Structure 1
Amino acid sequence: MDADESVLAKKKHVEFFKMYLYFIPARMFVLDSTRLSIVFFSISGLEILGALSDYNESTRKSMCDWIYSLQIHPDEDGDCSKCGFQGTDTFMTLEDGVAVHCNKMFANGHLAMTYTGLVTLVTLGDDLSRVNRPAIIKGVAALQQEDGSFACTLLGSENDMRFVYCACCICYILQDWSGMDMDKTLSYIRGSFSYDYGFGQGPDLESHGGVAYCAVASLVLMGKLHDVLTPKEYEGLRRWALMKQVAGFQGRANKQEDTCYSFWVGATLKMLDFYEMVNYEENRKYVMSTQCLDTGGFSKVRFSYPDPLHSYLGLCGLSFMGENGLGEVHPALNMSMRAVNCLHKIHQSW
């Protein structure tokens, strides 16, 4: 490792995240429909770097206003099945400064965008007073499938553990679990516990670091981790997750290490109270090797383009190891502990 690679280039990373708040590079235009997730990674990245204070209250409010413009409200008949947050304002226009949907067929909430929108609002200091909580919870309920999983949108999508996690986060943040048949969800998660003691995308499928994170975090948020797993399975899961470390972490056995799994698998180990078994030095070396010193940001593998997702999750992986100057991250909600404390204060006011 080169000498400067071992030093966290905080100022460069701050510049990197700020850039993504204002435009998306042409090579990433396909992500426009999920622009809110890019805002989530960028705001959360600035938060963990301690740079969110660079924005004054007025600027933060304008950011919150933009997020609220993406909220889908009940239709004229009171139907809430499409309620939530959508990911972009591309299909919207402004009339007297107010966002108006151009085409109702595109006005659909998306579970991942709703989750990232809510987290970003709290991180920016919003009190969620403009969130239509009952409508969003009904929107969550409309997306649950018969097997207990969730689709991400009514427009038609895959349904898997990612959106189970998003649904659990939304219900936790809004303190309302009525939008979920919890027994069905627990059955779905249980059915995805695999032969190798991890979680896969379905029964008897190979375990995956991202899926395992979503399953474990969902169980933690529901307070059901030890209800679903036996002591033997719990210990097997801990071992499975720990064995995903090579130098950094991989998502599956025999796959290349990837910066983001220092969060996905690292956070799983945090929730399983087994993180102290991680080789901090080797993990840090890998994450820092993907740091881009020219533009800021982290890439998934060395000598690749940095992006907001791997940049934020790389910083989270470093935070778990106590990297100097980085804020603490809540492993289940994937938001800063400062923001989580603000969220709990909001809960007390409801």
Structure 2
Amino acid sequence: MSEKLLVNEHVAYVKDLFRHPAYLVHFMAEHLKMNALYWGLGTLFLVNHTDEFARDEVIHFVLSCIDESNGGFGAAPNHDAHMLSTLSALQVLKMYDAIGEMTSEQRQGVIRFVKSMQLPDGSFQGDQFGEVDTRFVYNALQCLSILEELDPSIVDPAVDWILQCQNFDGCFGMVPGSESHAAQGFTCLGALSIANALDKLPNKEILEWWLSDRQVDSGGLNGRPEKLPDVCYSWWVLSSLAMLGKLHYIDGKKLQKFILSCQDAEKGGISDRKDKEVDIYHTFFGIAGLSLLGYKNLRKVDPIYCLPVDVTSTIKKYPYP
């Protein structure tokens, strides 16, 4: 077990994954391609290896994934648009300071797509097939925030719906009445933060304690009571506590040790738990968690946007003057 972050090994892991993307191009995983691109490039940006892939090639690929039928981004070329891939696409473009490289028509198409996914009750569906989830409210508000196109007609009903998803234990479910889950806590707090509406959150203290209770004896964090720890919750839980100003509610040193114990010292990458198979998802969110903990030589990550702080500092904050 390494007691330090194996930056070179993780960079090599990400580069090899995209050079030889056996599972990424497999038909079972193609729907994750845009998300995987964001996770991989996000990893490289946080460890200050921003030039490992040609900027123009990345931007060309992202723009090639626009669904011409409705303006959103698909997970890969010729895929239907979805809120998840649309946000990942905009996050990648924002990291490369390339939002302005979309044409006016492309930009307006994305805005129309995102706004068209909002339902009368304020919630958002992920695509034309109608799945509703707090994730998609967060997706929508971050997309429109990056494009600086938020407005009260979208934000106010979305905030009202998010608040209906908070449970008696303080955390949030996927929809009103659903079981509390730490990842949904992040999406709801992120949406409220983007909307500048955290002050509307009731039961804040209960939520803070629910989140802090996610730390187990190993130092890792879980997503729900009585579940095993998982490296990805080093982001979902920790970012939520950061937004609430309560990072000190967990033992950061024990969590850091847990994350570092899940590295593969030979091929790079981070797994969900020690000695398990690594993947790009846990690699990114593990390193993002370390960044929130102030790990040395990592770029500071924004707990709301899950992008480097120096990237999000250029986004105009809502409400606009």
Both structures adopt the same fold (TM-score exceeding 0.5): yes
The answer to whether residue 47 in structure 2 is matched with residue 49 in structure 1 is yes
Residues 81-96 of structure 1: pairs in structure 2 closer than 5 A? 82-89=70-77, 91=78
Q: How many residues align?
A: 313
Residues 117-132 of structure 1: pairs in structure 2 closer than 5 A? 117-131=89-103, 132=106
* Secondary structure of 2:101 counterpart: coil
- For residue 138 of structure 1, report the CA deviation from its aligned partner: 1.3
Change (3 A) 1:179 1:225: closer
**Identity across aligned pairs (percent)?**
25
- Any unmatched runs of 5+ in structure 2? none
C-alpha distance after superposition, 1:139-160 (max 9, x if no partner): 1122112332211111x15210
- For residue 290 of structure 1, report the CA deviation from its aligned partner: 1.0
- For residue 27 of structure 1, report the CA deviation from its aligned partner: 8.5
Other-structure match for 1:211: 184
The answer to whether residue 16 in structure 2 is matched with residue 19 in structure 1 is yes
Distance 1:32 1:201 in 2: 24
Distance 2:130 2:18 in 1: 27
- For residue 256 of structure 1, report the CA deviation from its aligned partner: 0.4
- Any unmatched runs of 5+ in structure 1? 76-81, 92-105
Distance 1:46 1:19 in 2: 13
Match of 2:311 among 310, 316, 339: 339
- For residue 54 of structure 1, report the CA deviation from its aligned partner: 3.8
Match of 2:209 among 220, 223, 239: 239
- For residue 264 of structure 1, report the CA deviation from its aligned partner: 0.5
Return the TM-score normalized by structure 1: 0.84
16-25 vs 239-248, which deviates more?
A: 16-25
C-alpha distance after superposition, 1:107-149 (max 9, x if no partner): x321111111111112123243315222211111221123322
- For residue 312 of structure 1, report the CA deviation from its aligned partner: 0.4
AA of the residue aligned to 1:19: D
C-alpha distance after superposition, 1:38-68 (max 9, x if no partner): 110011100001111344xxx2112111111
AA of the residue aligned to 2:120: E
AA of the residue aligned to 1:6: E
* Secondary structure of 1:235 counterpart: helix
Task: Answer whether contact 1:208 1:251 (CA < 8 A) is retained.
Answer: yes
Change (3 A) 1:344 1:178: closer
Match of 1:68 among 57, 63, 66: 63
Q: Higher strand fraction: Structure 1 or Structure 2?
A: 1
Distance 1:165 1:50 in 2: 27
* Secondary structure of 1:181 counterpart: helix
